[in-house]
Structure 1
Amino acid sequence: MAEFAPPAIQSRDSIEDIWGPRTPYEDEWPTRVDKSCDAEPDSWVQSACVLCSNGCGLDIGVKDGKVVGVRGRATDRVNKGRLGPKGLNGWRAMHREDRLKHPLIRKNGRLERASWDEAMNLIVSKSKELQKHLTNHSIAFYTTGQLFLEEYYALSMVGKAGLHTLHMDGNTRLCTATAAASMRESFGSDGQPGSYTDIDYTECIFMVGHNMAATQTVLWSRVLDRLEGPNPPQLIVVDPRLSESARKATVHLAPRSGTNLALLNGIQHLMFKNGWIDYDWVSKHVVGLEALRATVEEYDPQTVEKITGVAVEQLEQTACIIGTTRSLLSTALQGVYQSHQATASACQINNINLLRGLIGKPGSGIFQMNGQPTAQNNREVGCDGEFPGFRNHQNPNHMADLARLWNIDPIQVPHWNEPTHIMNLLNYMEAGTIKMFWISGTNPLVSLPNLPRIRKLLTQPDMFVVCQDIYMTETTAIADVVLPAAQWGEKTGCFTNVDRTVHISHKAVDPPGECRSDFDIFVDYAKRMGFRDKDGNDLISWRQPEEAFEAWKKLSAGRPCDYTGLSYDRLTGGSGIQWPCNEQNPHGTERLFTDGVFFTDVEYCESFGHDLETGAPLTKEEYEHLNPAGRAILKACHYNPSLEEPDSEFPLKLMTGRNVYQFHTRTKTGRTPLQKACPEPEVRIAEEDAAEAGVSDGEYVVVRSKRGALEMKCRVGRMTRPGHVFMPFHFGYWDTTDGRARAANELTVDRWDPVSKQPQFKGGAVRIEKIPEGKQSPFIREKQTAAATKASQKNDAASSATQTDYGKLERQMELWLGETYETIVQLLQIYEDLIPRLVHHDQEVEGGLQVLHKLAEDMRVRLEPHVRRLGENKQRGTHRAHVLREALFPSPQEESASPSIAYEVLETLQGLAVYLAHIQSSLTALQPVSMAMWDEEFSEAVGFAQKSLQRMVAWVKQQIQTRSSQTLLVPIVPKSL
């Protein structure tokens, strides 16, 4: 790593002085301009920082066509001129000689320089080959939280409107998926309620799993300045570690990792017990109060102490502060999102503010924080787990609106399910149904959990991996095609921070070599693929980012993230502006929900919500029964222990997280002076655990889980809770020289939250081992080199496209369709058999079964032409339908064991209910399949069959309910007598 000379001009040494001098205040944060330059710039270009989620406004200093420094923008509402250590130093990686400057294609086992035409033609050729033989659903995209809005929108259109696939996610899944999920559950849609200015007025800050001092240094400066000013707020910090944030806390709660939900339920228990609830406000603006009260009733302080380890007195003190404060600002980050029962816990934070009625008011709000600078845009435009404009895929009107705006047929909008999250994408790769993986701006070979599995999947011989990035990384090292991307400062675009502030970042310098912006790459791909709208015009007609921004504005109109009042001109010259910004809010919107009206109307909401324990989505009917109608939703959930708890073999809980000096996998920060401040990972353990393992401070140790092992330096202390270890997740192998295994995700579990699908990085069990005496270091060797070697043994990228013998592949849809059709044929025979058997017993059953027979025949008639057209695979021989029918409906020759005729009728109806449920699940599978085939007639036929079946199920259920009490309760003389 090259040494960096100190900057010639700097307002402070931000590596030594992380948060800068204090400017104590109350009500309005004073301005202080931070600056760091190698030379005095010839010009300044407006931008904002992209090295955390804070979104600090800054200017880029340019001299002789190069970036030579940055300064904070004094006019910007977010930072008032301040910058943190990453903002003041991150730009110094821009002109490094190891930048990717030309496309690369794997040839002769190596990545070799290629032209853009060669690289893009290869990607398009592979895409079309997979389209033809394996459908569009064999292609997947995985992006970042660091692109610009316009780039995400281009990618969203490529995936959802061009390829019509759900296989698109981002590494925002790893850091902010739970933030979005919790806001959908509680408020009906994504969109942060609060404003950074709430720090200026609040009486109480409640930080749960959020070490703001490390993750958002400028925002923490704002908090520090309030704490040193008049009337400082009380600060409650929930963190198992004694972090820098916790050191400033009025109350520091250090629960056992994975027990957030029990702790938050305990706070709400005390709020109910002590009447610390604004019942008047809640009665008008909230639903779900009684269900929440019943759930948290079980979480008295003594029970919570047993689960979490938090003392009764501390819990009561916390609840009293929260329950009596006149304003409350709550925040959460990875300590919640990457932990056990993540969405359920995040929703309880929302609940606490809602119970107090402290939302949408100065000093009162909620920040379900982001971890990346442009994660909010990724969610807004639908490049990960959402649909563009926060639209609801279960709402046909929302999907029709998307189809209209994109000018494509409604059936082509991929709305048969939620977008595929990264952990399921990996499962599909393992099953062999995803063969092309396009990664942009992220490094999954360091950042995803259970790295041994990730390396295995991405280096499969027939897996075609495309990476676009700004430097070589662990992931580009195994790719088939590498595309050199322009970065911040080398392109123009907009991005939105945590409190909905939209900034514009203007191009300051040209990118090196042949680098292209991500926007240009995605637009070029769409053009080469020949994506068209339904009128035959280019699907993506724009060629400049500003055109994309104007197109996005139309799509955002009327949605929570309304951008229609914004423009490049309005965003240039002053401060960033908060959305929604439209005709009603021409200057932006500081806080959401000021009128107590939320995004929960059934026709407006982004989601109908989920069961927080199982993750099962609620139906529109269930949501309508809840009837939020513009009111917030209190979501309740019980605590359950995580699946991998410490035991005698692995006695310690693993937590991973951020370091103040590094960002993600250090692709940028590791090439700046920040690297010297944090050159390698260290594992931190409590003194008691160090003594138990027999290790000392500064010693290299082995950290081992069921998935792998690491070797790194041990630091003892600064942990408040024994039984836990902490290590940063930033470090991989691109710059390692000693060969040690050191990436935290060699150890982590690949389990995820049932609602947000966010991986549980702060979970799993490990042990600390001494390195045996005399063993040569490295004792635990890294596996990245072996993965790169395996990738080099793959066929050339250009020829591998023709290696698969597609003739041996067989689609399984026809097998399922044939089985489903046969169940309906058998159902008709069941009805024909049941009617004569029961006719002399029950006239109502006779009449009902005749109607059901007609419904079943109508189903068969509607599905039959599609079975003939698509084909029916009968490879199994015996249909499952036959086996199930024989099990549920014995032949008439067999003597019935039923004690009475009425009991026999009830048993028969029960069997019919089970058989109908089997058909129901068969049709449930076919419904998204028909949509994923973009076959409108087939989809309509399946929908017709589902509605017919629902009518049958309702009739059978009603018959069972009507007959059961009389048949089962009143004694009779059995048939056998």
Structure 2
Amino acid sequence: MHRHDQQTAMEPAFAPPKFQTRDSIEDIWGPRTPYKDEWPTRVDQSCDAEPDSWVQSACVLCSNGCGLDIGVKDGKVVGVRGRATDRVNKGRLGPKGLNGWRAMHRDDRLTHPLIRRNGRLERASWDEAMNLIVAKSKELQTHLTNHSIAFYTTGQLFLEEYYALAMVGKAGLHTLHMDGNTRLCTATAATAMRESFGSDGQPGSYRDIDYTECIFMVGHNMAATQTVLWSRVLDRLEGPSPPKLIVVDPRVSESAKRATLHLAPRAGTNLALLNGIQHLLFKNGWVNTDWVSKHVVGLDELQAVVQEYDPQSVTDITGVPVEQLTEAARIIGTTGSMLSTALQGVYQSNQATASACQINNINLLRGFIGKPGSGVLQMNGQPTAQNNRETGCDGEFPGFRNHKNPAHMEELARMWNIEPIQVPHWNEPTHIMNLLNYMEAGTVRMFWVNCTNPMVSLPNLPRVRNILTQPDLFVVAQDIYMNETTAIADVVLPAAQWGEKTGCFTNVDRTVHISHKAVDPPGESRSDFDIFVDYARRMGFKDKDGRDLIQWTKPEQAFEAWKKLSAGRPCDVTGLTYDRLTGGSGIQWPCNEKNPHGTERLYADGKFFTDVDYCESFGHDLETGAPLTKEEYERLNPAGRAILKACHYQPPPEEPDSEFPLRLSTGRNAYHFHTRTKTGRTPLQAASKEPEVDISELDAVNASVSDGEYVVVRSKRGAVEMKCRVGRRTRPGHVFMPFHFGYWDSTDGRARAANELTIDSWDPVSKQPHFKAGAVRIEKIPEGISGPFIREPQSAAVLEAEKHSAASKATTGVDDSRLERQMELWLGETYESTVQLLQIYGELIPQLIRHDQEVEAGLRVLSRLAEAMRARLEPHVRRLGENKQRGQHRAHVLRQALFPSPEDVSSSPSVAYEVLETLQGLAVYLSHIQSSLTALAPVAQAMWDEEFSQAVTEAEKSLHRQLAWVKQQVQTRSSQTLLVPVVPRSSGRNS
């Protein structure tokens, strides 16, 4: 792996550790211990001094979750060593695990709260900071409702902290405005498992590497993202009977260099490639038909879709040669076992969920689920992303419950002792890209950012900076160091970090570890758990019996409460305790009375979490992203079987052109984690000092640039300036750059954050942004430029933030008399539409359709249903108020457009045709009311108004019955009316 020797002014100086088993920066993956079946133990260690004691923990600097012990001397962390007993790593640690701890005692730690006063962040007490946040929260509750407050969290907290935050947001504020930066890295992993298997939760196990005959890595450079897991793969490759390794990656990564077969598709074409592999599995009879017939649904639809992806068509789309595609399918189709993995090359790319589902499909078609050496690891990008999803702090609901299943939501309400309507389940939780839209529109006015750095990590940073520095947006940032986001915040809360608090977390293969507190946090820093519990207390959150909503004060109490919520769900941990997790290895969930020692693999019995009453989701249309209804899901009838999901390939949202001819991809390297809040303050910084853009030799020639030269990389959204590295790692037409670098430690003034360039589009199902999409060009910097050519924009954002003080934002600054809610306008329109509908039934249609006994009889029933619908809505219109439309109602306009006056009916060719036209118009009008009610249903729930919600639900049922009658009439009459010729009225004869 390429390294550089230039040193920046901000780079910390570190003496070599006194006790270390290897220099993990120079030797990333360590010495080989070849094996098969049982991975040998090798304990890695790095210490600055001989510890007085060792404290059990696990690494939180990638998603692998390696067990380790923290060495403590004189109240300070002085080193780490791998835990030899741990099932995940058998004592090994990677460069981040062996070096990350050295950031803990840096002098620039945040040690006390900060409040922006007179534009500047100044020291404050905890009471001042929390009282200000609470005052803002309550002010917004009064003027703009709870739905003006949003939370954006991380993939690095402990389970207990996530659960506290979930209760604050979902049970305390009853809001859906909760997301995490896990949206940026693993939302697709969770979504794909829900689509295919009925619930989140990795089917496979790390131990499958020990037995497998084939590893299929799609969009996953394991050598950089999970270095210890890659060591395990390397040891298998060096041992007896090594597995075949197929790597799908446009780049010649370190992982690809060891591949038996490297497929390098054009960025954004994963789906076509995977469809092509499935095409060949069907064509060559490599489908395990006996297993599939018993354990999956959706086979015929999938086979019909992939039939179109013959090898030559796939080659035309992807650029992968026919011979390579055929060989990949042969290896997959004939191997006795296979472990598949995926990461950001799938999740952050075009058609992410659809592609991830095809990986699941391939394993299902071969029957490679739940068996030793076989399975799927839809990888996470962060160490505790799984807990974020389990507890419901982002796009999920606690315990992998289905928000469309009333029984699941009522169960949550019982456990939290709140009213069912207060559980926010009228929609899926709001994803970060929509939160940005709401902030931009001014309907979200408080944004609480926890342990993440969106001013570097979100796509299209120019837009993000403009939004997060708006004068009316109150930003709270909770972190361990200053960064680009804390720099523009109104309140900064100093948090304790790993090693300074106790809690549990779950890694990629469902292994739960405990991390015990080893040292005290510096200064006045508090754990995220304590901060959230304190906020709940100060806000006065109560259950329906008037007791404190959050009644626990210690992490272990929160864990015991979480166990009750997990009971009976896929992530059941009722068999775990702090004592059981202490002293040995991590344990995989589910761990309960049935599985007291944990569960190596899910679905070993061939039964999936897809029963309609148990599943976490009813699934989606993979192309449009539209959620399926319960009725549509029931028609699939999965009943404990996995679901094969099919989808056609569509090109990426932004393709290269003559102005921007190159495809952009961003990603990780082995030395840094996210925006380097920790790793940039360790010896790892010396190994990767600044970002560089990888380009091919051909593209370097076309741009007239050379290796090591500073260049401009420009997209339609922005530009950055960095060194280029020219070589064969990147295929022609593609560029790659790391996303780790922002501006907190930059000294040269250059724009360098990769997300200055990225496109703010996202997958329609998982809502994960497309970081591996978008078009750019490389520009040579004109000669004679001495300073930065493209200047960094962060300083301007900080200056914008300094124009305002937090105190001035503590109130809305808006006169209540000027606030106007739009719900009353919509409600008034909906009500007027029902009034008009009664007139249409009673007056208009009888004039248009005469002497049709079936229509006349039907109209009497429809009028009764419509009157019941109007009567149900009327008291709520009176109670809530009707903001009447200025000018003519849309209902009037639509009525006039759909229904001609009686004197105009003679233009119809026949009476029968006239009836059909009138019924069609009625169907359109009813659909208009239906969409109006569709909008009101979540509004009523978001108002926590049970009576209003019931009224809307009853109105929807009534409307559905009316629409069903009309559609049936259209269907019954159409064939005879439209097929059998008649003498037109214009010929002087009535039909």
- TM-score calculated relative to the size of structure 2: 0.98
Match of 2:213 in 1: 203
Match of 1:187 in 2: 197
Superposed, 1:356-395 pairs within 5 Å as: 356-395=366-405
Contact 1:102-1:514 at 8 Å conserved across structures: yes
Taking the aligned partners of 2:533 and 2:551, their CA distance within structure 1 comes to 9
Match of 2:553 in 1: 543
1:612 matched to 2:622: yes
1:691 matched to 2:701: yes
Q: Pick the aligned partner of 2:463 from 434, 445, 453.
A: 453
Q: Pick the aligned partner of 1:888 from 888, 891, 898.
A: 898
For 2:448, what is the secondary structure of its paired residue? strand
How far did 1:642 drift? 1.2
Contact 1:462-1:804 at 8 Å conserved across structures: no
Q: Pick the aligned partner of 1:132 from 142, 148, 170.
A: 142
Contact 2:474-2:806 at 8 Å conserved across structures: no
| Structural RMSD (CA) | 0.8
Paired letter, 1:766: V
Match of 2:6 in 1: none
Taking the aligned partners of 2:18 and 2:850, their CA distance within structure 1 comes to 100
Match of 1:871 in 2: 881
Superposed, 1:495-894 pairs within 5 Å as: 495-797=505-807, 800-801=810-811, 803-837=813-847, 840-894=850-904
Contact 1:608-1:617 at 8 Å conserved across structures: yes
Taking the aligned partners of 1:367 and 1:155, their CA distance within structure 2 comes to 27
Taking the aligned partners of 1:560 and 1:744, their CA distance within structure 2 comes to 37
String of CA shifts for 1:86-126, please: whole Å, max 9, x gaps.
00000000000000000000001100000000000000000
Match of 1:215 in 2: 225
Taking the aligned partners of 1:363 and 1:317, their CA distance within structure 2 comes to 21
For 2:906, what is the secondary structure of its paired residue? coil
Match of 1:276 in 2: 286
Paired letter, 2:855: V
1:154 matched to 2:192: no
Contact 1:838-1:845 at 8 Å conserved across structures: no
How far did 1:798 drift? 5.1
Contact 2:653-2:773 at 8 Å conserved across structures: no
Paired letter, 2:637: N
How far did 1:2 drift? 2.1
String of CA shifts for 1:293-326, please: whole Å, max 9, x gaps.
0000010000000000000000000000000000
Taking the aligned partners of 1:737 and 1:802, their CA distance within structure 2 comes to 38
Match of 1:267 in 2: 277
Extract unaligned runs of 5+ from structure 2.
1-10
1:249 matched to 2:249: no
Q: Pick the aligned partner of 1:34 from 44, 59, 84.
A: 44
Moved over 4 A (4+): none
Match of 1:925 in 2: 935
Taking the aligned partners of 1:549 and 1:98, their CA distance within structure 2 comes to 32
Contact 1:464-1:797 at 8 Å conserved across structures: no
Taking the aligned partners of 2:695 and 2:688, their CA distance within structure 1 comes to 18
Paired letter, 1:826: Q
How far did 1:721 drift? 1.6
How far did 1:775 drift? 2.1
For 1:449, what is the secondary structure of its paired residue? coil
How far did 1:286 drift? 0.2
Match of 2:957 in 1: 947
1:114 matched to 2:124: yes
1:6 matched to 2:16: yes
Q: Flag the 1:832–1:416 CA change in 2: closer, same or farther, 3 A.
A: same
Match of 1:323 in 2: 333
Taking the aligned partners of 2:866 and 2:168, their CA distance within structure 1 comes to 41
For 1:182, what is the secondary structure of its paired residue? helix
Contact 2:474-2:809 at 8 Å conserved across structures: no
Contact 1:86-1:674 at 8 Å conserved across structures: yes
How far did 1:760 drift? 0.2
Contact 1:254-1:720 at 8 Å conserved across structures: no
For 2:57, what is the secondary structure of its paired residue? strand
How far did 1:616 drift? 0.1
Match of 2:5 in 1: none
How far did 1:464 drift? 0.1
Superposed, 1:292-441 pairs within 5 Å as: 292-441=302-451
Taking the aligned partners of 2:462 and 2:817, their CA distance within structure 1 comes to 32
For 1:896, what is the secondary structure of its paired residue? helix
Extract unaligned runs of 5+ from structure 1.
none
Q: Pick the aligned partner of 2:247 from 217, 233, 237.
A: 237
Contact 1:693-1:770 at 8 Å conserved across structures: yes
Taking the aligned partners of 1:797 and 1:217, their CA distance within structure 2 comes to 46
Paired letter, 1:232: P
Contact 1:194-1:364 at 8 Å conserved across structures: yes
How far did 1:838 drift? 5.3
Match of 1:471 in 2: 481
For 1:36, what is the secondary structure of its paired residue? strand
Q: Pick the aligned partner of 2:176 from 166, 191, 199.
A: 166
How far did 1:643 drift? 1.9
Further displaced range: 806-815 or 6-15: 806-815
How far did 1:459 drift? 0.3
String of CA shifts for 1:784-816, please: whole Å, max 9, x gaps.
000001000113435552533343221000000
Paired letter, 2:602: L
For 2:426, what is the secondary structure of its paired residue? coil
String of CA shifts for 1:350-378, please: whole Å, max 9, x gaps.
00000000110000000000000000000
Paired letter, 1:851: V
Taking the aligned partners of 1:864 and 1:401, their CA distance within structure 2 comes to 32
Taking the aligned partners of 2:877 and 2:708, their CA distance within structure 1 comes to 69
Paired letter, 1:151: E
Contact 1:27-1:200 at 8 Å conserved across structures: yes
Paired letter, 2:437: N
Match of 1:100 in 2: 110
For 1:893, what is the secondary structure of its paired residue? helix
Paired letter, 1:650: F
Taking the aligned partners of 1:642 and 1:351, their CA distance within structure 2 comes to 22
Taking the aligned partners of 2:849 and 2:210, their CA distance within structure 1 comes to 77
For 1:621, what is the secondary structure of its paired residue? helix
How far did 1:890 drift? 1.6
String of CA shifts for 1:812-858, please: whole Å, max 9, x gaps.
00000000000000000000124532563310010011100000000
String of CA shifts for 1:207-245, please: whole Å, max 9, x gaps.
000000000000000000000000000000000000000
Paired letter, 2:575: G
How far did 1:975 drift? 1.5
For 2:985, what is the secondary structure of its paired residue? coil
For 1:599, what is the secondary structure of its paired residue? coil
Contact 2:848-2:905 at 8 Å conserved across structures: no
Paired letter, 2:492: V
Match of 1:936 in 2: 946
Taking the aligned partners of 1:804 and 1:220, their CA distance within structure 2 comes to 56
